[in-house]
Structure 1
Amino acid sequence: MRHLLAVAAGLVVLAASACSAPIPPRSAAPSATPTGPATLPAPTGAHPVGTTALYLKDTSRPDPWNLDADARELKVTLWYPAEQRDGQRAPYMTPKESELAMGRYGIAGIPDDTLSKTRTNAVKDAGPTGRKLPLVVLSPGFTNPMSTLTSLAEELASRGYVVAGVDHTYESYATTFPGGRVAECLACDSDTDPGFGAGVVAGRAADVSFVLDQLPSRWDGSGRIDRSRIAMVGQSIGGASAMATMVKDSRVRAGIDMDGTTYARIPKSGFSRPFLFLGSAQHVPGGRDTSWDRDWKLLTGWKRWLVVTGAEHSTFTDASLLAGALGIKPAYGVPPAARAAELTRTYMAAFLDQHLRGERQPLLDKPSPRYPEVKLCAPDKKTCA
């Protein structure tokens, strides 16, 4: 059943039930004067950030959504530590993508290209720097393009990670390929099909494995990547896909699911690689979404289950950062945009630093007075504190 997912700022994103349990909708109509173009928060790491895009074609399999395509095309956006701090900032999205986003979000009364004017921090096509850098694969939520995780990607790159963000073609409102060709959301018409969620995560796992296969030969900077240190992070069904990918591909050493119902079946013998659940109130132990309870019992290695007080499904994306530009007032009780970004960036970086760099992070072991919104859950007791 299709439903509306409320984002942290009150923006409504159209999504499928495969993403998470239903969340009561809020109005998507602008309720305040737009503030002008949104600006993503500056990364806090030591490195300037560069970004570039790769376009890959997997001829070994047909596209699962486009019956007329005998190959799977993918757009992969890379963020990485760069040689230069100055230069042309990469666009957040194209005017056409912004137009399609506005239509999907149900936003009217402001220019269609508003989101394309969002100010990013990464320098387009800047030269990469560094050596033996860990790699983080990002996968966005259903209907959302990779751009909705840009703030997190820029932060990780500034901290010395290479980030590969995968646009899963036909599963978001827009993926733009060279020449301006736009692939819209064909999968959106299939979200009520039996087994939809399991099919999506299986397809995304195949996408990610293909990207890992192709990256060494398709990016000039790939020699800087330490391929023994790879993690995957996703939001919503992208988080579910992190689990699915790890089950199928041993190259991915650690994973994070940000508020996504899981679908992939973990072997009954258990799963020992590190995994972090980070969610909203719908994902408290014993809550309405029981997929994490099911999987938790089979995670035999390092694991944590965190819930953010007041968070909504899209708190862990750029949604709240874009709200002011759309003239939308933050919802009561939801973490403010800057705080939501700080929480997401901090806990993602802590997990990755611990499991890809071997740097122990006490932040992950107990509640922090600096981040009282983040509750550490004890699933056996069905509590979070």
Structure 2
Amino acid sequence: MTSVAFATTGETGSNGGATLTAHTSADNPAAPYLPKPTGSRPVGTTSLYLKDTSRPDPWVAEADARELMVSLWYPAKSTGKQRAQYMTPMESELLLKDGGITSVPYDTLSKTRTNAFTDTRPAGRKRSLPLIVLSPGFTKPRSVLTALAEDLASHGYVVAGIEHTYESVATTFPDGRVTTCVACEAPDRTETFWKKLDQGRAADVSFVLDELTRPHSKWNGASLIDPSRIAMAGHSAGGASTLTAMVADSRLRAGVDIDGLTHDPIPDGGLSRPFLFLGRQSNFSPGMPSALSWEREWHHLTGWKRWLVVTGAAHASFTDVAILAEQIDLDTGADLPATRSMGITRAHTRAFFDRHLRDKPEPLLEGPSTRYPEVTFCAVETRTCA
């Protein structure tokens, strides 16, 4: 039995990379699959190539424009004939190699069965659908948030997953280029590094919002988006950058930080829009050293806010990484089964967005639930969770 790191997570200190343990070596493991969405609507998906010529790339000096790949998931008129590819074989290989995993064929993740269909017609009335932006952890491709995105889309949301170029182990562009993680080559990942990353991601988010809400958008379903109902969530570094993006762009009405240390403090003026912290008990219970960044931000959040921790979860538990690892017999170190942790992540993020973008009452966010006893509500002032 060997332990391997399944790529770094973009955090420092005790919130570092998830550890996976390989139990077996299988020549032909069964194809991995994502859990089915819980909503009633078919899910469509497509990818957009976007180029921001107003700014250079923050990581590659010779790139005079910022190029991005964005995946869109949305409610569709009907199921299609072709399920979407989870990632390319090259992306799968680079992600597994980055994690030091040799116990499965390198193209394994590219065979993952998704629940969304490619380029099916979007369903909805003009300006009727809320938009959720998703940002993955450092080194991770946008695809690791697919299970969450598919679920939100099945409940009537448009979801935009942003690939932050040169911060992912592999980004594939339409012309066949595959870029890797240039930011990973930074000699010191200090607070200055993480602030640069957060601020660059905030600029990425604002540009993507511009592109999706402007007239004559490159996506033919863009007219269905309600520009007054936009929010964001991210995992790890993506969660941290959600706060930075909200401070920079008032179009983001609400945000969720999923298990991510924050590095770019909220200004003294505070942030009055709704915010949710959702993380591991082992790292983000109030009073723990790794929770200090959340405590700092908590006191600058002046609107609706919640701090939830999930007993038994590991850092990877909130993403597809845990689900796929479990299916190919790798251990993330979590005590909570991956399907259960994904169910918790889906339910609580959707409840948050339903409340703040659709004005739906959500008892799930008002206190402990017998449906999810693993989730505790934290009172930061007393540093207790119950």
**TM-score normalised by the chain length of structure 1:** 0.94
Task: Give the residue type in structure 1 aligned to 2:293.
Answer: S
Counterpart among 174, 192, 204 of residue 170 in structure 2? 174
Q: Distance in 1 between matches of 2:91 and 2:285?
A: 34
Mapping 1:155-234, distance limit 5 Å: 155-190=151-186, 192-194=188-190, 195-216=192-213, 217-234=217-234
Matched with 2:76 is 82
> What displacement does 1:265 show?
2.2
Matched with 1:323 is 325
> What displacement does 1:340 show?
1.1
Matched with 1:109 is 103
> What displacement does 1:146 show?
0.3
Counterpart among 301, 308, 311 of residue 303 in structure 2? 301
| Post-superposition CA distance 1:71-126 (Å, at most 9, x none) | 00000100000011131000000000011011011111321100000000000011
| Post-superposition CA distance 1:181-228 (Å, at most 9, x none) | 101000001162441111100000000000011113221100000000
Counterpart among 3, 10, 14 of residue 21 in structure 1? 14
80-89 or 302-311, larger mean C-alpha shift:
80-89
Answer whether contact 2:278 2:307 (CA < 8 A) is retained: yes
Q: Distance in 2 between matches of 1:77 and 1:293?
A: 33
Q: Which runs of 4+ in 1 moved over 4 A?
A: 32-35
Task: Give the residue type in structure 2 aligned to 1:65.
Answer: W
Answer whether contact 1:12 1:26 (CA < 8 A) is retained: yes
Q: Distance in 2 between matches of 1:320 and 1:26?
A: 11
> What displacement does 1:329 show?
4.3
Q: 1:19 to 1:364 in 2, by over 3 A?
A: farther
Q: 1:55 to 1:27 in 2, by over 3 A?
A: closer
> What displacement does 1:271 show?
1.3
| Post-superposition CA distance 1:273-316 (Å, at most 9, x none) | 00000001201111121100001011110000000001111111
Q: Distance in 1 between matches of 2:206 and 2:155?
A: 24
Q: 1:367 to 1:32 in 2, by over 3 A?
A: farther
Matched with 2:353 is 352
Answer whether contact 2:314 2:332 (CA < 8 A) is retained: no
Aligned length: 375
* Structure 2 residue runs without a partner (length 5+): none
Matched with 1:5 is none
Q: Distance in 1 between matches of 2:112 and 2:38?
A: 19
SS in 2 for 1:352: helix
Mapping 1:114-129, distance limit 5 Å: 114-129=108-123
Answer whether contact 1:16 1:191 (CA < 8 A) is retained: no
Q: 1:212 to 1:11 in 2, by over 3 A?
A: farther
Task: Give the residue type in structure 2 aligned to 1:364.
Answer: L
Q: Which has the higher contact order (CA 8 A, sep 6+)?
A: 1
| Post-superposition CA distance 1:339-368 (Å, at most 9, x none) | 011001000100000000000101101001
Q: Distance in 1 between matches of 2:19 and 2:153?
A: 34
Task: Give the residue type in structure 2 aligned to 1:302.
Answer: W
Q: Distance in 1 between matches of 2:188 and 2:77?
A: 47
Task: Give the residue type in structure 2 aligned to 1:221.
Answer: G
> What displacement does 1:18 show?
3.6
Q: 1:50 to 1:86 in 2, by over 3 A?
A: same
> What displacement does 1:20 show?
6.4
Q: 1:27 to 1:242 in 2, by over 3 A?
A: closer
* Structure 1 residue runs without a partner (length 5+): 1-9
| C-alpha RMSD of matched pairs (Å) | 1.7
Task: Give the residue type in structure 1 aligned to 2:8.
Answer: A
Q: Distance in 2 between matches of 1:277 and 1:32?
A: 37
